[in-house]
């Protein structure tokens, strides 16, 4: 699959044929210093202009703050981009952000599609090398519906010749490609990506790996009683699907199950959204894209953990066959749900998939969903919500998110939340009162996971789709939020 990414390589010296060099500016002892600029280039600049490069860069707006980028012309035609990387004692996330901002700037340069770019940030430690690779690749991503990539090639220049630097490069490339795969799927328009076509795409990306793929079509869903997925998909001409992707390495002692919400377009159903609220609803399958992309990367990394990823796919449309508010639905496993609102559809497809996921007796279940606007109200558009059954599980995921450089904030599942889901005609109702909607939604999902099973819910509604200008390594459109955290979580559990 063409993800419109540049050809990427690693080296310890800068290729003489590059067109653009991206270096860093850091803060050291209260002053700005350049990192990654070769000594010969600095000397030739000094001879030509009589001023240090750092002074000229500062005069053109360069700063150590990540996200700040300045363009300079180097003698001989080379273009130099100076990107902020923060304090000189850099963290992987600082480098990730600086690299991403630098590469986004490179992609916007004239002649960008044919440019050869080198990223040189004087990286040595494996985690920092990995951060540079991820930031560079993620910053070079641009959804162009099959056009040429924003730049032709990207060389990651590192300051270490050790084997662990190359390993970090390879790991970073796998992770970044997984994020870009999720971004690509999420960015596809809903007339191209729908439950059946997504299932075909999943089979295609799984084919070169050791992954196994099982797909439930509408007949199989009816036969086995997946009432939530069937109800949500009942109004669409494009039938629903449940997809399971399994990675089962020999000798693995632990098992992680991932469940993703896959609403390929959400009109709101009979509880119709506004025209403005509907426009970006192709991204409502971000959870499904994330878990599938993550399990593929986990397999490529060869992590010693069994992982099953479930994608619950449906298109939520209004029609004469659509499900209704007040309908009573039978979820897979037998529980009945009184549907409160057809625009609260994600929890219904997740309920089916969560019950199915518990049958594998995993050590941990994590579901990922663009579930509630309430979570965006609470945390904004750059932070995702984390709701877990216990603090130990929450801490495990927060640690993974921190190492991956993604922002999550733990929200509670109040003890009284299940009381708000009581129904007079079914085992429970799909929605509660208006207040604390993200908390009540998590409580609903928890009803479909046994109380003795570790489980967490990631509400990525805010940061999964960026409708503002790009920043750091985050593009406009799909962001791939949660993919890096899921991979890091699997790596932690595999140790």
- Helices 92-107, 126-140: axis angle to 10 degrees equals 30
Indicate the pairing of strand 384-388 with strand 408-410: parallel
Indicate the pairing of strand 455-459 with strand 384-388: antiparallel
The catalytically annotated residue of 116, 273, 330, 335 is 273
Q: Which residues pair with 73 in a beta bridge?
A: 79
Q: Is 162 a catalytic residue?
A: no
Q: How many angstroms separate the Cα of 417 from the Cα of each of 355, 384, 395, 443?
A: 20, 20, 22, 6
Nearest to 262 by CA among 282, 236, 238, 246: 282
The C-alpha atoms of residue 326 and residue 270 are separated, in whole angstroms, by: 12
- What the block records as the tokens of 305 is 């953990």
Q: What is the dihedral of CA 277, 282, 283, 284, to 10 degrees?
A: 80
- The single-letter DSSP state of residue 243 is E
Radius of gyration of the CA atoms of the chain, in A: 24
Handedness of CA 387, 393, 399, 404 (dihedral sign): negative
DSSP conformation letters of 354-412: HHHHHTT--SEEEEEE---HHHHHHH-SS-EEEEESSHHHHHHHHHHHHHHT--EEE--
Q: Is 97 a catalytic residue?
A: no
The catalytically annotated residue of 238, 282, 296, 347 is 347
Indicate the pairing of strand 31-35 with strand 364-369: unpaired
The C-alpha atoms of residue 353 and residue 257 are separated, in whole angstroms, by: 11
User: For residue 6, what are the contacts with CB-CB under 8 A and spacing of at least 6?
Assistant: 117, 140, 149, 150, 151, 152, 153, 154
CB 356 within 8 A of CB 332: yes
Q: How many residues in total does the chain contain? A: 495
- What the block records as the tokens of 318 is 């209004």
Nearest to 46 by CA among 14, 75, 70, 13: 75
The C-alpha atoms of residue 260 and residue 318 are separated, in whole angstroms, by: 23
CB 117 within 8 A of CB 80: no
Nearest to 61 by CA among 89, 101, 29: 101
User: Which residues are designated catalytic?
Assistant: 273, 347
């Amino acid at each position: 699959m063409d993800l419109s990414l540049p050809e990427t390589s690693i080296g310890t010296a800068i290729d003489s044929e590059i067109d653009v060099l991206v270096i860093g500016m850091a803060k050291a002892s209260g002053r700005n210093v350049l990192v990654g600029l070769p000594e010969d280039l600095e000397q030739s600049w000094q001879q030509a202009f009589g001023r240090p490069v750092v002074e000229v860069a500062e005069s053109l707006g360069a700063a150590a703050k990540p996200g700040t980028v300045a363009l300079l012309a180097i003698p001989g035609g080379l273009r130099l981009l100076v990107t902020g990387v923060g304090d000189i004692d850099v963290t992987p996330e600082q480098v990730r952000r600086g690299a991403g901002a630098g590469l986004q700037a490179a992609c916007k340069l004239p002649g960008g599609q044919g440019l050869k770019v080198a990223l040189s940030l004087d990286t040595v430690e494996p985690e920092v090398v990995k951060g540079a690779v991820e930031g560079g690749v993620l910053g070079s991503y641009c959804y162009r519906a099959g056009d040429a990539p924003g730049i032709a090639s990207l060389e990651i220049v590192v300051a270490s010749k050790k084997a662990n630097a190359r390993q970090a490069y390879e790991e970073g490339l796998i992770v970044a490609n997984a994020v870009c795969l999720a971004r690509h799927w999420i960015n596809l328009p809903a007339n191209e990506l729908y439950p059946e076509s997504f299932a075909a795409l999943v089979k295609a990306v799984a084919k070169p790996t050791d992954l196994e793929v099982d797909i439930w079509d509408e007949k199989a869903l009816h036969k086995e009683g997946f009432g939530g997925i069937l109800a949500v998909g009942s109004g669409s001409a494009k039938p629903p699907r449940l997809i399971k992707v399994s990675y089962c390495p020999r000798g693995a002692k632990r098992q992680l199950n991932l469940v993703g919400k896959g609403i390929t377009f959400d009109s709101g159903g009979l509880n119709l959204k506004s025209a403005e609220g509907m426009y970006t609803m192709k991204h409502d399958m971000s959870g499904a894209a994330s878990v599938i992309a993550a399990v593929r990367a986990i397999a490529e990394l060869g992590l010693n953990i069994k992982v099953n990823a479930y994608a619950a796919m449906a298109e939520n449309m209004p029609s004469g066959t659509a499900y209704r508010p007040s309908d009573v639905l039978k979820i897979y496993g037998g529980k009945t749900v009184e549907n409160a609102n057809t625009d609260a559809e994600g929890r219904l497809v997740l309920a089916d998939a969560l019950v199915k996921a518990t049958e594998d007796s995993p050590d941990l279940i994590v579901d990922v969903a663009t579930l509630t606007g309430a979570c965006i109200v609470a945390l904004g558009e750059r932070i995702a919500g984390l709701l877990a059954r216990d603090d130990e599980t929450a801490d495990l995921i927060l640690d993974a998110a921190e190492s991956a450089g993604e922002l999550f904030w733990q929200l509670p599942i109040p003890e009284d939340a299940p009381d708000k889901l009581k129904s007079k005609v079914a085992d429970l109702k799909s929605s509660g009162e208006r207040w604390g909607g993200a908390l009540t939604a998590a409580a609903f999902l928890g009803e479909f996971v046994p109380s003795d099973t570790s489980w967490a819910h990631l509400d990525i509604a805010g940061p999964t789709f960026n409708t503002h200008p790009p920043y750091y390594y985050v593009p406009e459109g799909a962001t791939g939020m949660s993919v890096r955290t899921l991979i890091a979580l699997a790596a932690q559990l595999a140790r």
